[in-house]
A and B are shown apart, each in its own frame.
Chain A
Amino acid sequence: MGHTIWILLLPLISFILLGLGGNKMKPKATGVIGTASLAGVTILSYITAFSYFGAGRGIDGLFPTLMPYDFRWLPFMDNLSINIGILLDPISVMMLVVISTVSLMVHIYSMGYMKGEKGFQRYYAFLSLFTMSMLGLVVATNIFQMYVFWELVGVSSYLLIGFYYTKPAAIAASKKAFIVTRFADLGFLIGILIYGYFAGTFSFTPETSRLMSAGMMISLALGLMFVGGAGKSAMFPLHIWLPDAMEGPTPVSALIHAATMVVAGVYLVARMFPLFIGYAPDLLPWIAVVGAVTALYAAVVACVQSDIKRVLAFSTISQIGFMMVAMGVCTSADPHAGGLGYMASLFHLFTHAMFKALLFLGAGSIIHAVHSNEMSAMGGLRKYMPVTHITFLVACLAIAGIYPFSGFFSKDEILAACFAFHPAMGWVMTAIAGLTAFYMFRLYFGIFWGKENKELHQTHKPHESPLSMTLPLVVLAVITCVAGFIPFGEFISSNGASYHIHIDMKVAGISICVAVAAIAISTWMFARENQSVPDALANRFPGLHKAAYNRFYIDNAWLFVTKKVIFKCISTPIAWFDRNIIDGFFNLCGKVTSKVAAGIRFMQNSQIQQYCIWFLAGAVILTIILIF
């Protein structure tokens, strides 16, 4: 497994090369270099996955946890040091495959999408940086290395959201994303420190005795870590940065804000799962509640947004909510008795990464064709863009949970886990799944059917995207079609033992019926030229519609809290104290010095003979003192 180090080094080398020498190269060359290094990473990841899972289970029936590299990086004390290395276990290998696949697709796609953009080289350098950090995050051998790479993905996300740095909205969005996630990461850091103090190590497998004696503090540490994960994964009410992050280039949204970085929070919970289940089982239902609220909120908001990327962003938030719920409904480590959610969550992470990346790339292709994000500029695009249309439809069916697309299988497992936890949770999540199907098909019909914006399409005829953009779409669509049949439980389960996925016919039947019904309603409402039903509904419930369109004023609430409460009541007095008391003290010192200097300035009258007299007088006085 020694080659795994190259999975991290290749994108790093490519980042340094493109970052330092990119401006001297032709844009095309930088794209090829970035994509080639990513192709290398993808091949290595697949080799790793095949050799890891191919080697089979050990005697204890588990896949071994390998550490090909574990380098002692920061030795603080004899019993506390921070390592950096590579950890291979089923979930990190699975994440390697997901990240490298989606990242490679995005690299190829960007060659077409970003062609001719100013800063093409910079774009590829940042993409390499992001990929390196994300891969480093998933293979982290300890929580601290994870935190380092966690912040690195935050930085690369910031850089890529603000890629169009001449656009004020993009700058604001990048700052918002960075500050909100940093705010949450504060919780993460404190959690890590508490954990490190009580567990005596930063590794994921501390000594049981120390944890037992720590008691509640481990719960506290894990809860704070979850806050960090919630920030990164855009959980309610820290989700506000994700919809704005859509200001970045669309392939970036596909890579970072749909498939990889935003699921880091889920990955974090999965990584710490043995600790959650062993030492803080009371926290898990809260995670489930947070996830469910997020999923419901985002699904409702997604129903009325008009910007297609915003709809997808809220859909992402909602789906990550699903994954969190699945993590939270686990009641034991045994997949047969309450631990199903763990597997379901990671399965959904896997399939969602593929079909959501596909949706975003499809959206990018559409935006490329019509030069607008607004649904009003679209409609009737199916005859102009057949490939995009078909692949988008596949992804919509997958996210809606229609057999045999991948989303069906993973969502079914999640719903089964929810029903096993509590029927109410099961029904709520089923309803949200229905909402998902509804808003996704609203989006689909709004783009490809519905009322065509003929004037706009006459002046600028939409066209199918070039091969570099359609190829990734097709690849991802194929993966979306077949990924559901991967026996995921054989590889990953909550206690590592093999788990055979079986479809619960009752749950599956309910979820398919709900999804089909939602799609039917959606078709009835949005598939035709004049959309009288939605308009009538919007007029019937103007308050609800307006509130949902404005995302239930959560952004405004945050603005109120930050501007009115924090800035006014805390920051302003502190700023006053700084300007007047602290600065004032030093200004006083300076003023006193200069006043004294001005006072004795008469001695310096530039008359050399005067100076000589002073000097002589001094010499005489000294002589007299010395003599007597």
Chain B
Amino acid sequence: MVQMEWYLVLSTIMMFVGILGFLVRRNLLAMLISIELILNSVDINFAVFNRYLFPDQLEGVFFTIFAIGVSAAETAVAIAIIINIYRNMKNIQVKNLNKMQEE
């Protein structure tokens, strides 16, 4: 059986890849994907802790499923917003999204 630490290392790497991606990518879609990475890393943690530390309970797994559902809905909303932004501005580069700033 794979040791628990490997899963945690994986989720940590996913988390920081996600954060890095969120900070450095200028494309809204790429930023969204990065957020999904962060979320998934957390999901892995939930599942792993449940499986290794409290094998006779199911809360962690349930929470993971809920989180996946919620993030799906959130992604749908985010993509709808991004599509609307694209319709209005003809691009989705985040540096151009400063229309609401006072000049």
Contact = CB atoms under 8 A, between A and B. Distances in A.
Contacts of B98: 605-607
Interface string B63-99: 0000000000000000000000000000000110110
B19 A608 contact: no
A234 to B, nearest CB: 63
Nearest to B19: A616
A612 B26 CA distance: 13
B94 A613 contact: no
Interface residues of A, number: 9
A606 B23 contact: no
Residue with the highest number of chain B CB atoms closer than 10 Å, among A609, A612, A616: A609
A193 to B, nearest CB: 56
Contacts of A604: 101
A607 B95 contact: yes
Contacts of A605: 98, 101
Interface in B4-32: 19, 22-24, 26, 31
Nearest to B95: A607
B1 interface: no
A612 B23 contact: yes
A206 B102 CA distance: 72
Contacts of B19: 616
If over half of B's interface residues share one DSSP class (helix, strand or loop), that class is named, otherwise mixed; here it is: helix
Contact of A607 (B22, B24, B94): B94
A609 B22 CA distance: 7
B95 A612 contact: no
A616 B38 CA distance: 14
B100 interface: yes
Nearest to A601: B102
A612 B97 contact: no
Nearest to B28: A608
Contacts of B23: 609, 612-613, 616
A616 B100 CA distance: 24
A600 to B, nearest CB: 14
A161 B101 CA distance: 58
A609 B98 CA distance: 12
B22 A612 contact: yes
A112 to B, nearest CB: 68
Nearest to A610: B23
A605 B96 CA distance: 11
A223 B67 CA distance: 88
Contacts of B22: 609, 612
Interface string A580-621: 000000000000000000000000111111001100100000
Contacts of A616: 19, 23
B38 to A, nearest CB: 12
B23 to A, nearest CB: 5
Interface string A386-418: 000000000000000000000000000000000
Contacts of B94: 607-609
A87 to B, nearest CB: 69
A487 to B, nearest CB: 88
A606 B23 CA distance: 14
A269 to B, nearest CB: 69
Contacts of B95: 607
Contacts of A606: 97-98, 100-101
A612 B95 CA distance: 14
Nearest to B25: A609
A551 B101 CA distance: 70
B29 to A, nearest CB: 14
B82 to A, nearest CB: 13
B100 to A, nearest CB: 7
A616 B16 CA distance: 12
Nearest to B26: A609
A604 B26 CA distance: 18
A158 B100 CA distance: 55
A609 B94 CA distance: 9
Contacts of A612: 22-23
Contacts of A607: 94-95, 98
A277 B7 CA distance: 108
A604 B103 CA distance: 11
Contacts of A608: 94, 97
A604 to B, nearest CB: 8
Contacts of A609: 22-24, 26, 31, 94
A613 B23 CA distance: 7
B91 to A, nearest CB: 15
Nearest to B100: A606
A315 B101 CA distance: 75
A605 B23 CA distance: 15
Given A605-B98, A609-B22, 11 more contacts: A606-B97, A606-B100, A608-B94, A608-B97, A609-B23, A609-B24, A609-B26, A609-B31, A612-B22, A612-B23, A613-B23
10 contacts: A604-B101, A605-B98, A606-B101, A607-B95, A607-B98, A608-B94, A609-B23, A609-B26, A612-B22, A616-B23
Shortest beta-carbon contacts, A-B, top 6: A606-B101, A606-B98, A609-B23, A612-B23, A613-B23, A607-B95
